[in-house]
Amino acid sequence: MMRGVQAAWPHIGALLAIGAVFAGAAVANDGYAGLGAGGIEFEKSETIEMAEEDLYLSRSAVRVDYVFRNTGEDDEDAFVAFQLPPLAPIYAELDYALPDEMRNAGQLNYMRFKAWAEGEPVELSQEVRYYRLCADCDDTGWGLGFLERDDEELTQRLTALGVPESYDLGTIRDWFAGLPRAEQAKLKREGIFIDGEAGPAPMYWMSVRYYWQQIFPAGEDVRISHSYRPVLGASVPAIDDDIVAAHCIDAGTMRAIKKAGSRVEGQTYLDYVLTTAGTWKGPIGTFRMTIDKEEAKDIVSLCAEGVRKTGPTTFVVEKSDYRPREDIRIMFVDVR
């Protein structure tokens, strides 16, 4: 059922980055970073190591508990950050297969991200940035793939006009309608807004990061936890060669899917980015991942080594001195 290459997980660099899960475009794990003149910048920590990571992945929740250890001689003051999958608001009106969480993302924190440090809730700050939407690009309107593009940044231009920090098209259109007519015309000439069937349409996508400042005392452990609701991909019941390869579906798993037959309602996908763990010093000392399919009758498959079944719905992978090389892709087959 589960075999193949080692799974991997992410961390980002002088801002500590925290990871997320969703299908088709994964979010990063905890990383280490700082706030530069251009915003959050990721670097590599030479003193803070990830001593432990305990990861729980299911379709309804993602929970991660970390133990970070400052091996240096001085206290280190850093930022911890969580990157949401970027989203282009206009896609909520287009005929694209967006997940419901994305299509109805009225609030910035649509994944309900929460964090704790030493057991106490963290007060989150947010960084919102805007980029020109490529009209000719073939994409789904959301996902971490946007961060790899070389799109023009519009943050300074739009924030100077008071653009709302919102994905909601009604809120954005109300703001646009309140601008001077000359400014509206200029934004249209620049292609930042166009005339759509339902009204002025924003031709930008948004990157949102939540972050907080964290002190890592010299020679001490710091416990950080976070949770959120993952954004899942979905498809009708169908298994092709690409799906088989991406999720290491072996013969036994395929037989189970065929046996379920007409009781299979569809497939859901959850991705988790682990590979940013390289921004911390050294490997992850002790790594534990629990996959919970939540329904005993459902079927799950992913590429991972050393998977143990620990209950009717749970599977566990444990590693020592772990260096993630790949990200996690999980397929859940929903059986009624």
Cβ contacts of residue 156 below 8 Å, gap of 6+?
none
Range of the domain at 203: 15-335
Question: Model confidence at 238, in pLDDT bands (50, 70, 90)?
Answer: confident
Indicate whether 10 belongs to any domain: no
- Is the pLDDT reported for residue 215 higher than 70? yes
**How many C-beta neighbours within 10 Å does residue 39 have?**
15
**Residue 304's domain is classified under what CATH number?**
2.60.40.3680
Indicate whether 9 belongs to any domain: no
Indicate whether 224 belongs to any domain: yes
Indicate whether 7 belongs to any domain: no
Per-residue pLDDT, 310? 97
pTM recorded for the entire structure: 0.80
Indicate whether 2 belongs to any domain: no
- Is the pLDDT reported for residue 326 higher than 60? yes
- Is the torsion defined by CA of 273, 278, 283, 285 positive or negative? negative
Indicate whether 6 belongs to any domain: no
Phi-psi region of 110 (alpha: psi -120 to 50; beta: other; left: phi over 0): alpha
- The structural domain count of the chain equals 1
- Is the pLDDT reported for residue 18 higher than 60? no
Indicate whether 103 belongs to any domain: yes
Per-residue pLDDT, 15? 45
Indicate whether 3 belongs to any domain: no
The two tokens of residue 243 are: 């799906």
Distance, CA of 260 to CA of 268 (rounded, Å): 16
Q: Could you read off the pLDDT of 302-321 as tens digits, one per residue?
A: 999 999 999 999 999 999 99
Q: Average pLDDT of the chain? A: 82
Q: Could you read off the pLDDT of 161-187 as tens digits, one per residue?
A: 999 999 889 999 999 999 999 999 999
